[in-house]
Structure 1
Amino acid sequence: MYKRFFDLRERPFKLVPNPAYLFLSKGHEEALAHLSYALTEGDGFVAIIGEVGTGKTLLCRTFLDSLGDDVEAAYVFNPRLDGRELLRAINGELGVDATGATTQELIDGLNRFLIDQHQAGRRVLVLIDEAQNLSAEVLEQLRLLSNLETRDAKLVQIILVGQPELAELLDSHALRQLAQRITLSCYLAPLSRDESDRYIAHRLAVASQGRSVPFMRSALRALHRFSGGVPRRINIACDRALLAAYVAGSRRVTGRIAR
């Protein structure tokens, strides 16, 4: 509705993760560095923790898009699955036949695939998004899956991405062995005030092909205060602010409009 009024190609604050709008805060840069390092070293688990709306899924997609042809990756999103279902999902992502297989057959098939990839000089990555939805039993199965190795190398790198509930799970006594295998962990914090301002400007620039839609400083303060620096909440607030400015016939988003 407000796109033509502000001369925008599209709505800049949609909630759908879109790599074209990627904005790397300090926390996101650190998380990507952790992921790249872990893949290069190829040992242990990696855990990326962040509150709802802090950009975890977009971070995952950005990382996966950056991988070279020498990496086979399985991306499992929102896995409310039991152990066998998760194995089938992983095998399916990697192109390993999982039709009608038992749990042991799934593991054996995956192991053969991992050995073949290792011999071909390729690495295998399993990235599980929203991993806080996995049960302790399934997380323990993932630990056992990480035992697949040769004398000199792990055959699969496992990355767990999730909300703070995942950290609570990993701190539990039942998962102490898995927690000991997490070699790198990173927490995605909300954006600072400066990062929030730059995030808004970046998304507007992408949607307007370089032109900016003026958000007054008072509006930026109000938006950060409301959102707490959480990108998803920033998107919701900015989308509503642009709509309110359009309805008011204002070419600027003022503090009063943003509030």
Structure 2
Amino acid sequence: MYCDFYGLKEKPFTITPNPEFIFLSRNHREAFAHLLYGVDSHAGFIAMTGEVGTGKTTLLRTLLTQLDADKYRSALIFNTCLSWEQLLATICREFDITPVESSRFGYLDALNRFLLDQHLVGSTVVLVIDEAQNMAPDVLEQIRMLSNMETEQDKLIQIILAGQPELEDVLARHDLRQLSQRITVRCRLIPMGLNDTGDYISHRLKVSGCRIPNLFSRGAVKCIYRFSKGVPRLINIACEQTLVMAWTQERTSITKGMVAEVLAETGSFRRRGIMRRFLNWLAAGR
């Protein structure tokens, strides 16, 4: 498609969380620094929240790729609609732990032995739970109990809870106050400003190999910003659709008018149900 026309090695604006395309705005840098600090200082519990599409999963995946495999053992869990026993089984599977028996006690015993073994060899165990706002309160309370796996000097496992702003409401529940009190590092992702939006678009094009300077005009960037309000996922959707349109017209400069035309059509797409199919097409990376 347009990749050959624009000399791109890959599509720059897919909505899948790819660490290769990570762009750290000021707020993203601050959040990333909080995550690294929490892990390195063995804070125990870390919480990160942000609206849909602000880049939480991409930031988490980037964090995990930055951790030295010789010093860290990490796992990412994104299916959170689980019972406590199912979650324990998933944690064991992600860490390649084989319990003696498939029961709650068996999972906990095997996990505890794994954590102690990793501590003895100097490895830090990091468990990342994405979409944590979907977890049942009783499961979150059980997760708190994992922090009781510790030595006299240190926590044996570092747990990052990430989710939409609703996670803050869940953690504010009276029956979860003990968990909330144990979260010593908190950060929140917010949408980007106009300048960061322009830098974000340029960054993703550069990573994809684009050699056309200022492919998106300043006016086009402003139009995309007004539509997306600085949310990376919406920026990607607008840029992807505009690139497709520009390619069909063999244009090497994307103007404000072109973006406005694409976004105007987006409303009719949504009404006819075509937008859903388009998003599925984007997610599939086709």
Q: Which category of TM-score, normalised to the shorter sequence, fits these structures?
A: over 0.9
Shift >6 Å, 4+ stretches: none
Distance in 2 between residues matched to 1:113 and 1:240, nearest whole Å: 48
Partner of 1:157: 158
Q: Verify the 8 A CA contact 1:19 1:58 in the aligned structure 2.
A: yes
- Corresponding residue for residue 30 of structure 2: 30
1:144 aligns with 2:173: no
Deviation at 1:213, TM superposition (A): 5.3
Judge which range, 41-50 or 201-210, deviates more.
201-210
Residues 4-83 of structure 1 aligned to structure 2 (within 5 Å): 4-68=4-68, 69-83=70-84
State the identity as a percent: 46
Q: Provide the C-alpha distance between the structure 2 equivalents of 1:108 and 1:99, rounded to a whole number of angstroms.
A: 9
Q: Secondary structure at 1:187's aligned position in 2?
A: strand
C-alpha separation between the residues in 2 aligned to 1:212 and 1:205?
9
Give ranges in structure 2 of 5+ residues lacking alignment: 261-286
Per the TM alignment, residue 195 of structure 1 is displaced from its structure 2 partner at its CA by 0.4
Given that 2:7 and 2:211 are in contact with CA atoms closer than 8 Å, whether structure 1 keeps it comes out as no
**For residue 103 of structure 1, what is the aligned residue in structure 2?**
104
> Which stretch of the first structure deviates more once superposed, 92-101 or 55-64?
92-101
TM-score, normalised by the number of residues in structure 1: 0.95
Correspondence 1:218 to 2:224: no
SS in 2 for 1:106: helix
Structure-1 separation of matches of 2:39 and 2:217: 43
Note the C-alpha offset of 1:4: 2.5
Residues 210 and 248 of structure 1: CA distance in aligned 2, closer, same or farther (over 3 Å): closer
Alignment of 1:104-119 (within 5 A): 104-119=105-120
Comparing 119-128 and 221-230, the one that deviates more: 119-128
Q: Write the distance in 1 (CA, Å) between the matches of 2:155 and 2:126.
A: 11
2:282 alignment counterpart: none
Kept in 2, the 8 Å contact 1:130–1:162? The answer is yes
Q: Secondary structure at the match of 2:126?
A: strand
* 1:223 CA drift (Å): 0.2
Number of the residue aligned with 2:228: 227
Q: Does 1:197 align with 2:193?
A: no
Contact 1:204/1:212, CA 8 A, preserved across alignment:
no
Q: CA deviation at 1:209?
A: 4.8
SS at 1:104's partner residue?
Answer: helix
- Whether contact under 8 Å (1:204, 1:213) holds in the other structure is no
Does the CA-based 8 Å contact 2:43-2:185 persist in structure 1? no
Contact kept, 8 Å, 1:125 with 1:156, in 2: the verdict is yes
Residues 144-186 of structure 1: CA deviation (Å, up to 9, x unaligned)? 1111111111111110011111111001112111000010110
Tell me, in whole angstroms, the C-alpha distance in 1 between the residues paired with 2:87 and 2:213. Answer: 45
What letter corresponds to residue 203 of structure 1 in structure 2?
Answer: R
How many residues are treated as equivalent by the alignment? Answer: 259
Q: CA deviation at 1:66?
A: 0.8
Contact kept, 8 Å, 1:92 with 1:98, in 2: the verdict is no
Give the stretch that moved more between structures: 234-243 or 95-104.
95-104
1:75 is paired with a residue whose SS is strand
| Kept in 1: contact 2:46–2:159 (CA 8 A) | yes
Range with greater deviation from structure 2 (204-213 or 162-171): 204-213
Q: Indicate if the aligned counterparts of 1:88 and 1:106 stay in contact, CA closer than 8 A.
A: yes
Amino acid in the other structure paired with 2:174: H
- The Cα offsets for residues 114-159 of structure 1, whole Å up to 9 and x where unpaired, read as 1111122221111111111211011001001111111111111110
Residue pair 2:147, 2:155 contacting (<8 A) in 1 also? yes
CA distances 1:23-48 after superposition (whole Å, capped 9, x unpaired) = 11112111111111111211331001
Gaps of 5+ in 1: none
CA RMSD of aligned residues (A): 1.4
